[in-house]
């Protein structure tokens, strides 16, 4: 079963391309200190906005720091934010959603009411408000984005569980006297993991984009730690004379998000039995 | 019975048509101002809405720039920031003092048509302190006036120390000498109109004597002024002035390129682009700002700072020339002391601060912190406007001296509050002159009891020299004392002076008689547009 | 039906109540002090600060401030702005109020039309060159940050080519770029949805029947196939509108449009509590209201709900 799935995934061109991109980004993030040719915080005011050359393959930024090195280290931040937020929202959202979906009744009503309320707030404004309250920084971004994202996951998990509840194996487990927790954890969860994974994969892309937006508004990671979003923010004012900073950071973000999106789409197509004539 | 399809089509059509309907609402009223022959308006940008347009409550720079065109005080500044008479033609000291007798200019008409008299002066000054009125920036300038305190507390119905002698003569007495009183920024209002209009009067009436009258304020869009043909220096040659509210540097520049602005005040992030663009070369205006940029060092909050050698070391590792070239693209000026060039009382003979990293390391070692050992981690803080600068300083302090400095960007409201409370140990900030005299820096920033002495640097001798200086009306004598005090501050390394970014502007070739000055814009009354 | 409506409305009410409490708490938890911001760089004048604080009731205990605020809302008074002295919050909001929804709606319309066309086209040419090219473009459209796209477009179209005005809001020309920039991610989203739905629908029996009956291809595609994707699309449209409203923030900043989004950010940074709270509440109301409308609409067209079963 698993190998068939893998083969199906591999047959999706999009997934392969996406997966390659994602893998490259992850590897870059992990090996960042080894890959970066220069220290990311070494300023050199006599060499600001340098054009690409042998020493600085992508040139330097407004403080004379090497752009390539900062992009590489920036991968860590973007990925850290993306993965942290996705992890937190998956844990919280899936727990809430599954409990609500499985037990139904009042538990369901209570949790879903909470989800509805959070979902009723416009995302961007909520993120800004939270970030403003907590002050700029990496942790703030993670908290703000997690707060905004978990309800969507909860809703998804709940509807997935509702579908699964109709299946025979659930009835069988109940009849056997299996405790609810075990049913949820051991039986239902593996069956919905695929769909959740798809959502998570695409989600990382959007979270990276949201981090860039928060950085653009000045609420993101602090200097001198580079994040792709804050690099775009620094580079945009100089777009017409020294475009390299803004363009390279935009391309890297865009490519990474494309990678996650393609991967997610590919996974979804691979998992969807309908598209395979079944 | 609505079918699914029909309902869907209905919704889509509605969504498509609705915004077209919106196009006809007044949201889309034409608001672009175009200059045609016979109807010239001078269009310039400001970075944000003025918080208010009321000369009593105004308290920030944007409002000040706009208000200056509508309201005037005893004096004003010319293009070189010298103080020249405005509504006061002359004044002399009172005997017995301390105080001044002002001889007001005759033949000046307020926007309402009424003649300007001493009544308006007293009215304005009392409005600043009236209990219940939100006196803004200018209120503290009345601190030394006799009877001001009682009036403020509601114990008196007028300020005893302000006496109207006749329509064009007014006397102001002080509890102690205040030689700079004539150059403080006051904006005299029409006592006749204002009282009747109520709290939001300033968005309805124009009640000053200036070359332009208030016309309208479209929040988030623009503030529009129209010419005052009865202006005492001569009617403006254009029909009006429009301050377009443009927060974003690129947008402002693009609007200038597209002909939507006649003059653009170039914000920091677009300076580099402007300096390197050939097209702008002939339209470029570059002027040193009257701003003291410095690193504040609070000796009470971080013990190593108590040692003068440590403070000197901090100053020695900052390569200011590299900053001017690399960070500001050449558009910055050296600040050698506590008072920026262009301000009366500035000392042109001060040597520039030195850059000598080796000497700095030696000093730090002598002070007992070789390579930064033994120094606790510390943050250097500022708002995001100074992010690049403090990142550079922190990098230098860490790499060259080994001091564990981290960068902390704090948002504005929090930062200002903390600074005012003396809670920030190590920061970078700038201070702009409120009036054209070095005291605006030397006293307001470094006098021991000044609320704006944010690093809490204290020196009794310095205070004594300043106290003496402020009793001397004669400029050159006073300035000598200013120089003496300033040298004390610098020798003690009470703060670290930093380069001042230049004020950069672009002016269209067909626009004349307007420029940037160290304090802001020049007066707009003589502008012509071909 | 009516029970359905009542439930939805009561849910809206609950949301607004929670929103008011949370917004009040969050805004007052913002570090920094509105009085400091009001007085700006000359804020060390303690007397003046104290006077201002008393005048705005900021020296009262929080609970009391909250009660006064709620009382104010119930009587339709949103207080005076801190930043624009003496100006009622309602006045500050009034001009922005018409702008952001118009911007969002225009972008939504563009997205729906453009997205549908592109998505259907891709579905019809599945797995061929056009489809792949379109898919790539769509993913890119969703992936590149909108402020980067905006800057690039302004540079190209306004400065280099001089085709469109740079910024501001008031003429049709000024509306083009902001609407386009705002619409790009949504168009991509709609296109993907349209493509997916169309692919599903095209496989269904009734389509084959229509073709077999000899109906013109165009009729088959647009009336029959696409017609059945309209409802799910319309549902997503509602959700998208809410998202678009929020995303006006960045676009309004870049194009200097005095709308609600920019006002939200500005007032939060300026600690203008009354305006910030009012704007956030307004956004929440719009957002929740749109969701309710979508639910209602869905209830209208879905016979199960219409005829009495509660959803």
Q: How far is A264 from chain C (nearest CA, A)?
A: 11
pLDDT tens digits, A195-213:
888 888 878 888 888 888 8
For B62, the 3-state DSSP assignment is: helix
Determine the pLDDT at residue B139: 75
Against chain C, the chains showing at least 3 CB pairs within 8 Å are A, B
Q: Which helix (DSSP H) or strand (DSSP E) does residue A222 occupy?
A: none
Determine the pLDDT at residue A149: 86
Q: Tell me which residue in A117, A129, A205 faces C26 most closely, judged by beta carbons.
A: A129
Q: Which of A182-186, A256-260, B508-512 reaches the highest mean pLDDT?
A: B508-512
Q: Which chain A residues are within 8 Å of B409, Cβ to Cβ?
A: 136, 222-223
- pLDDT score of C159 more than 70: no
Ordered structural domains, chain A, with CATH:
69-276 (1.10.3720.10)
For residues B379 and B404, the answer to whether their CB atoms sit within 8 Å is no
Say how far apart CA A119 and CA A107 lie, in whole Å.
Answer: 18
Q: CA-nearest residue of chain A to C290?
A: A120
Burial of A274 (0-12, 13-18, 19+ CB in 10 A): exposed
Identify any residues that bridge with B409 across adjacent strands, giving them in sequence order.
B382
Determine the pLDDT at residue C258: 80
Say how far apart CA B479 and CA B460 lie, in whole Å.
Answer: 19
Q: Do B326 and A47 touch (CB under 8 A)?
A: yes
Q: CA-nearest residue of chain B to A224?
A: B391
- Lowest mean pLDDT of A73-82, A113-122, B435-444, C296-305, name the range: C296-305
For B48, the 3-state DSSP assignment is: coil
Q: Is B395 on the interface with A (CB under 8 A)?
A: yes
Q: List the beta strands (DSSP E) in B271-397.
A: 284-288, 291-297, 332-333, 378-382
Q: Which of A222-236, B121-135, B472-486, C132-146 reaches the highest mean pLDDT?
A: B472-486
DSSP for chain C reads -HHHHHHHHHHHHHHHHHHHHHHHHHHHHSSS-HHHHHHGGGTT-HHHHHHHHHHTTTTS-HHHHHHHHHHHHHTT---B-SSSTT-BHHHHHHHHHHHHHHHHHHHHHHHHHHHHHHHHHHHHTTTSHHHHHHHHHHHHHHHS-HHHHHHHHIIIIIIIS--S--S-SSSHHHHHHHHHHHHHHHHHHHHHHHHHHHHHHHTSHHHHHHHHTT--HHHIIIIIIGGGGHHHHHHHHHHHHHHHHHHHHHHHHHTT--SHHHHHHHHHHTT-HHHHHHHHHHHHHHHHHHHHHHHHHHHHH-HHHHTT---
Q: Do C147 and A121 touch (CB under 8 A)?
A: no
Q: B173: number of CA atoms within 13 Å, CB side?
A: 14
Q: How far is C289 from chain B (nearest CA, A)?
A: 16
Q: What is the dihedral of CA C69, C70, C76, C82, to 10 degrees?
A: 20
Q: Do C227 and B8 touch (CB under 8 A)?
A: yes
Q: Do C135 and A14 touch (CB under 8 A)?
A: yes
Q: Which of residues 10-39 of C touch A (CB under 8 A)?
A: 11, 14-15, 18-19, 23, 26-27, 29-31
Q: How far is C95 from chain A (nearest CA, A)?
A: 20
Q: Which chain A residues are within 8 Å of B388, Cβ to Cβ?
A: 62-63
Q: Do B388 and A62 touch (CB under 8 A)?
A: yes
- Band (pLDDT 50/70/90 cuts) for residue A91 is very high
Determine the pLDDT at residue A41: 87
Say how far apart CA C42 and CA A45 lie, in whole Å.
Answer: 33
Determine the pLDDT at residue C191: 85
Q: Which residues contact A240 (CB under 8 A, 6 or more apart)?
A: B273, C155
- Please state whether beta strands B240-245 and B41-46 pair in parallel, antiparallel, or not at all (unpaired): parallel
Among all chains, which residue has been given the structure tokens 């009282």? B195
For residues C234 and B12, the answer to whether their CB atoms sit within 8 Å is yes
Q: Tell me which residue in B277, B326, B387 faces A48 most closely, judged by beta carbons.
A: B326
- Omega within 30 of 0 (cis) for the link into B105: no
Burial of B343 (0-12, 13-18, 19+ CB in 10 A): buried
Say how far apart CA A160 and CA A163 lie, in whole Å.
Answer: 5
Q: How far is B129 from chain A (nearest CA, A)?
A: 35
| CA angle (B252, B241, B204) in 5-degree steps | 110
Q: Tell me which residue in C85, C254, C258 faces B134 most closely, judged by beta carbons.
A: C85
Q: Tell me which residue in A47, A135, A241 faces B272 most closely, judged by beta carbons.
A: A241
Q: Do A218 and B384 touch (CB under 8 A)?
A: yes
For B241, the 3-state DSSP assignment is: strand
- Lowest mean pLDDT of A154-163, B184-193, C182-191, C245-254, name the range: C245-254
* Best residue in A11, A13, A118, A120 for a mutation probing chain C (most C CBs within 10 Å): A120
For B285, the 3-state DSSP assignment is: strand
Q: Is B266 on the interface with A (CB under 8 A)?
A: no
* Best residue in B254, B388, B390, B428 for a mutation probing chain A (most A CBs within 10 Å): B388
Q: How far is A213 from chain C (nearest CA, A)?
A: 8
Q: Among residues A34, A127, A133, which one has the least CA distance to residue A81?
A: A127
For residues B281 and B486, the answer to whether their CB atoms sit within 8 Å is no
Long-range contacts of C46-52 (CB under 8 A, 24+ apart): C46/B451, C48/B134, C48/B135, C48/B136, C48/B139, C51/B134, C52/B134
Q: Which chain C residues are within 8 Å of B412, Cβ to Cβ?
A: 32, 37, 269
Determine the pLDDT at residue B347: 94
Q: Is C9 on the interface with A (CB under 8 A)?
A: no
- Band (pLDDT 50/70/90 cuts) for residue C311 is very low
- Omega within 30 of 0 (cis) for the link into B96: yes
Q: Which helix (DSSP H) or strand (DSSP E) does residue A237 occupy?
A: none
Q: Do A232 and C18 touch (CB under 8 A)?
A: no
Q: How far is B395 from chain A (nearest CA, A)?
A: 7
> Which of A275 and C176 is assigned the larger pLDDT?
C176
Among all chains, which residue has been given the structure tokens 């009424």? B114
Taking chain B (530 residues) in consecutive chunks of 10 residues, what is each chunk's mean pLDDT?
A: 40 43 35 60 88 65 84 88 90 88 93 90 86 67 87 86 92 90 89 66 77 87 91 93 86 84 89 87 91 93 94 95 91 93 91 95 94 92 89 94 91 79 91 88 90 90 93 91 95 94 93 90 90
pLDDT, mean of residues C114-129:
81
For residues B108 and B246, the answer to whether their CB atoms sit within 8 Å is no
Q: Which chain B residues are within 8 Å of C86, Cβ to Cβ?
A: 52, 54, 199-200
Q: Which residues contact B302 (CB under 8 A, 6 or more apart)?
A: B376, B378, B425, B426
Q: Do C280 and A125 touch (CB under 8 A)?
A: yes
On whether ipTM exceeds 0.85, the answer is no
Q: Tell me which residue in A43, A46, A236 faces B391 most closely, judged by beta carbons.
A: A43
Q: Which helix (DSSP H) or strand (DSSP E) does residue A229 occupy?
A: helix A228-235
Q: How far is B374 from chain C (nearest CA, A)?
A: 33
Rg of chain B on CA atoms, in Å: 26
Q: Which chain C residues are within 8 Å of A132, Cβ to Cβ?
A: 30, 268-269
pLDDT, mean of residues C267-289:
82
Residue B249 CA to its chain's centroid (Å): 19
Determine the pLDDT at residue C309: 43
Q: Tell me which residue in B4, B31, B59 faces C40 most closely, judged by beta carbons.
A: B59
Q: CA-nearest residue of chain A to B276?
A: A241
Determine the pLDDT at residue C131: 76
Q: Which residues contact C73 (CB under 8 A, 6 or more apart)?
A: C20
> Which of B397 and C60 is assigned the larger pLDDT?
B397
Helix axes C273-301, C230-254, angle to 10 degrees: 160
Say how far apart CA B175 and CA B146 lie, in whole Å.
Answer: 5
Q: Is A132 on the interface with B (CB under 8 A)?
A: yes
* Best residue in B247, B266, B280, B387 for a mutation probing chain A (most A CBs within 10 Å): B387
Q: Tell me which residue in C143, C155, C249 faces A124 most closely, judged by beta carbons.
A: C249
- Band (pLDDT 50/70/90 cuts) for residue C61 is confident
Determine the pLDDT at residue B27: 34
Q: Is B412 on the interface with A (CB under 8 A)?
A: no
């Amino acid at each position: 079963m698993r190998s068939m799935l893998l083969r199906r995934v591999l047959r999706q061109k999009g997934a392969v391309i996406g997966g390659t991109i994602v893998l490259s980004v992850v590897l870059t993030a992990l090996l960042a200190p080894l890959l970066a040719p220069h220290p990311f915080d070494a300023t050199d005011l006599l060499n600001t906005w340098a054009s690409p050359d042998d020493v600085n393959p992508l040139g330097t930024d407004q403080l004379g720091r090497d752009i390539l090195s900062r992009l590489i280290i920036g991968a860590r931040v973007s990925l850290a934010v993306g993965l942290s937020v996705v992890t937190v929202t998956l844990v919280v959202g899936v727990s809430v959603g599954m409990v609500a979906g499985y037990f139904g009744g009042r538990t369901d009503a209570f949790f879903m009411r909470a989800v509805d309320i959070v979902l009723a707030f416009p995302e961007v404004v909520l993120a800004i408000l939270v970030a403003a309250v907590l002050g700029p920084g990496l942790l703030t971004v993670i908290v703000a984005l997690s707060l905004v994202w978990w309800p969507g996951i909860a809703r998804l998990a709940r509807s997935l569980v509702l579908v699964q509840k109709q299946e025979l194996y659930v009835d069988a487990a109940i009849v056997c006297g299996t405790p609810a927790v075990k049913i949820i954890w051991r039986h239902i969860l593996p069956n919905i993991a695929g769909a959740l994974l798809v959502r998570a994969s695409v989600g990382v892309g959007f979270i990276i984009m949201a981090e860039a937006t928060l950085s653009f508004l000045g609420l993101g990671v602090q200097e001198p730690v580079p994040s792709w979003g804050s690099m775009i923010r620094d580079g945009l004012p100089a777009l017409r004379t020294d475009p390299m900073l803004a363009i390279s950071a935009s391309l890297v973000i865009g490519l990474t998000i494309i990678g996650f999106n393609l991967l997610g789409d590919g996974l979804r197509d691979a998992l969807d039995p309908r598209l395979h004539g079944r | 019975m609505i079918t699914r399809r029909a309902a869907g089509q209905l919704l889509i059509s509605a969504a498509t048509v609705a915004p077209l309907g919106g196009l006809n609402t007044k949201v889309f009223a034409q608001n672009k101002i175009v200059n045609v022959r016979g109807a010239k308006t001078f269009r310039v940008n400001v970075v944000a809405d003025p918080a208010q347009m009321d000369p009593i409550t105004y308290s920030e720079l944007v409002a000040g720039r706009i208000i200056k065109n509508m309201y005037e005080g005893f004096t004003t500044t010319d293009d070189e920031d010298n103080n020249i008479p405005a509504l006061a033609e002359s004044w002399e000291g009172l005997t017995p003092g301390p105080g001044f007798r002002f001889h007001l200019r005759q033949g000046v008409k307020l926007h309402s048509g009424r003649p300007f008299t001493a009544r308006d002066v007293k009215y304005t000054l009392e409005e600043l302190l009236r209990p219940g009125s939100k006196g803004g920036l200018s209120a503290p300038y009345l601190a030394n006036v006799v009877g001001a305190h009682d009036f403020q507390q509601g114990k008196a119905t007028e300020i005893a120390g302000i006496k109207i002698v006749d329509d064009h003569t007014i006397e102001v007495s002080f509890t102690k000498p205040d030689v700079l009183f004539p150059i403080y920024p006051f904006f005299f209002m029409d006592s006749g109109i204002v009282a009747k209009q109520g709290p939001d009067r300033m968005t309805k009436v124009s009640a000053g004597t200036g070359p332009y009258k208030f016309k309208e304020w479209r929040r988030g869009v623009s503030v529009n002024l129209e010419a005052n043909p009865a202006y005492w220096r001569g009617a403006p040659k254009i029909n009006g002035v429009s301050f377009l509210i443009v927060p974003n540097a690129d947008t402002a520049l693009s609007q200038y390129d597209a002909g939507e602005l006649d003059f653009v005040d170039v914000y920091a992030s677009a300076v580099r682009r402007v300096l390197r663009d050939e097209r702008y070369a002939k339209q470029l205006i570059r002027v040193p700002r009257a701003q003291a940029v410095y690193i504040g060092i609070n000796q009470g909050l971080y013990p190593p700072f108590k040692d003068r050698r440590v403070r000197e070391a901090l100053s020695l590792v900052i390569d200011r020339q590299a900053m001017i070239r690399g960070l500001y693209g050449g558009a910055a000026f050296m600040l050698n002391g506590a008072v920026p060039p262009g301000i009366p009382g500035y000392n042109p003979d001060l040597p520039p601060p030195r850059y000598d990293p080796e000497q700095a390391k030696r000093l730090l070692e002598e002070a007992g912190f070789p390579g930064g050992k033994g120094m606790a981690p510390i943050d250097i803080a500022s708002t995001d406007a100074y992010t690049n600068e403090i990142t550079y300083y922190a990098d230098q302090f860490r790499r060259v001296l080994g001091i564990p400095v981290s960068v902390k960007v704090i948002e504005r409201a929090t930062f200002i509050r903390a600074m005012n409370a003396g809670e920030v140990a190590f920061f970078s900030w700038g201070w702009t002159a409120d009036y054209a005299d070095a005291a605006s820096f030397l006293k307001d920033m470094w006098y021991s009891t000044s609320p704006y002495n944010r690093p809490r640097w204290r020196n009794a001798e310095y205070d004594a020299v300043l106290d003496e200086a402020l009793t001397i009306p004669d400029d050159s004598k006073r300035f000598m004392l200013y120089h003496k005090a300033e040298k004390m501050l610098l020798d003690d390394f009470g703060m670290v002076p930093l380069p001042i970014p230049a004020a950069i502007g672009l002016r269209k070739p067909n626009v004349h008689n307007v420029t940037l000055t160290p304090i802001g814009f020049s007066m707009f009354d003589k502008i012509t547009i071909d | 039906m009516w029970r359905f409506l009542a439930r939805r409305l009561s849910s809206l009410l609950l949301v607004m109540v929670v929103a008011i409490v949370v917004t009040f708490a969050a805004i007052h938890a913002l570090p920094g002090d509105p009085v400091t911001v009001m007085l700006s760089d000359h804020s060390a004048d303690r007397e003046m600060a104290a006077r201002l604080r008393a005048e705005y009731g900021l020296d009262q205990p929080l609970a009391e401030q909250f009660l006064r605020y709620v009382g104010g809302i119930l009587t339709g008074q949103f207080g005076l702005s801190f930043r624009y002295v003496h100006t009622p919050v309602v006045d500050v909001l009034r001009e922005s109020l018409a702008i952001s929804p118009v911007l969002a709606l225009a972008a939504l319309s563009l997205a729906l039309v453009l997205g549908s066309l592109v998505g259907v086209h891709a579905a019809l040419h599945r797995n061929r060159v056009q489809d792949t090219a379109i898919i790539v473009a769509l993913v890119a459209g969703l992936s590149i940050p909108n402020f980067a796209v905006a800057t690039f477009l302004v540079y190209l179209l306004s400065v280099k080519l001089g085709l469109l005005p740079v910024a501001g809001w008031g003429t049709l020309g000024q509306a083009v770029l902001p609407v386009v920039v705002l619409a790009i991610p949504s168009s991509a989203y709609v296109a993907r949805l349209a493509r997916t739905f169309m692919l599903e629908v095209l496989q269904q029996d009734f389509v084959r029947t229509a073709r077999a009956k000899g109906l013109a291809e165009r009729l088959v595609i647009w009336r029959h196939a696409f017609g059945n994707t309209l409802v799910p699309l319309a549902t997503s449209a509602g959700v998208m509108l809410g998202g678009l409203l929020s995303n006006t923030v960045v676009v309004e900043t870049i194009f200097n449009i005095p709308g609600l989004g920019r006002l939200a950010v500005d007032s939060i940074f300026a600690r203008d509590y009354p305006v910030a709270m009012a704007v956030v509440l307004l956004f929440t109301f719009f957002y929740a209201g749109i969701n309710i409308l979508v639910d209602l609409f869905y209830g209208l067209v879905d016979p199960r709900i219409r005829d009495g079963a509660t959803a």
